[in-house]
Amino acid sequence: MKNQILNFVVLVIVSIVFFSCNSESPEAASEGYKVQTEAYTFYSDQKKYQDANARRGESDECQFSWSIRNVKRNGNVLTLDISRPAGCEVEYELIWNGMILESFPMMANVFIKAISDGCTDQDEDTTDILEIDLEKALKDTSLSTLSNTNFNIREFCAFKDVQCMEGCDVAVSN
């Protein structure tokens, strides 16, 4: 009888451990997504983020000069002012790995890439203003978490990061 009870307890413990363990992390199990707007495409994609991080600053992807001039957050709208050569058609990609770092304060890292075919540096620059609706971009994030999350905007073609803490309004100099 004692052996049967011991065997039963061991079976229950092994069953609990076996059925409660998941070999995949939540990030690996979740599918990435994209949010398309007229001004940019926002990706929540861990593989795309890792690829951007590995290739950051590579000259073959950075054919023209562009830079972040200002980062501002008003509520759940993040505004980026981007300086780029005038006369070029430029598309922007924002790439998030889908993770919010559980530090204090919480932090999300987002790459920004400017993409254009045939654009070269010119004497005249222009400014594009990207307004990112964070509720739509980080669509699976609760409003409470979103309002307490700061952002680290990582410029793809330069090793420049701009931290946006709380209701930031950060002017960036070259």
Question: Residue 59: its pLDDT value, please?
Answer: 74
Pick from 37, 57, 34: nearest CA to 129: 37
pLDDT digits (tens, 9 = 90+) for 130-156: 999 999 999 989 999 999 999 999 999
Q: What is the pLDDT of residue 17?
A: 39
The HSE-up count of residue 120 (CA atoms within 13 Å, CB side) is: 1
HSE value, Cβ hemisphere, 13 Å, CA-based, for 52: 26
Classify residue 127 by burial, with Cβ atoms within 10 Å: 0-12, 13-18, 19+: exposed
Tell me what the pLDDT averaged over the chain comes to: 85
What is the predicted pLDDT for the residue at 8? 52
The yes/no answer on whether domain 24-171 falls in CATH 3.30.160 is no
Query: Dihedrals φ, ψ of 139, to 5°?
Result: -60, -25
pLDDT at 173: 81
pLDDT tier, 2 (very low <50, low <70, confident <90, very high otherwise): low
How confident is the model over 47-73, as a mean pLDDT? Answer: 92
DSSP state at residue 31? P
Model pTM greater than 0.85? no
Look at 26 and 126; give whichever has higher pLDDT.
126
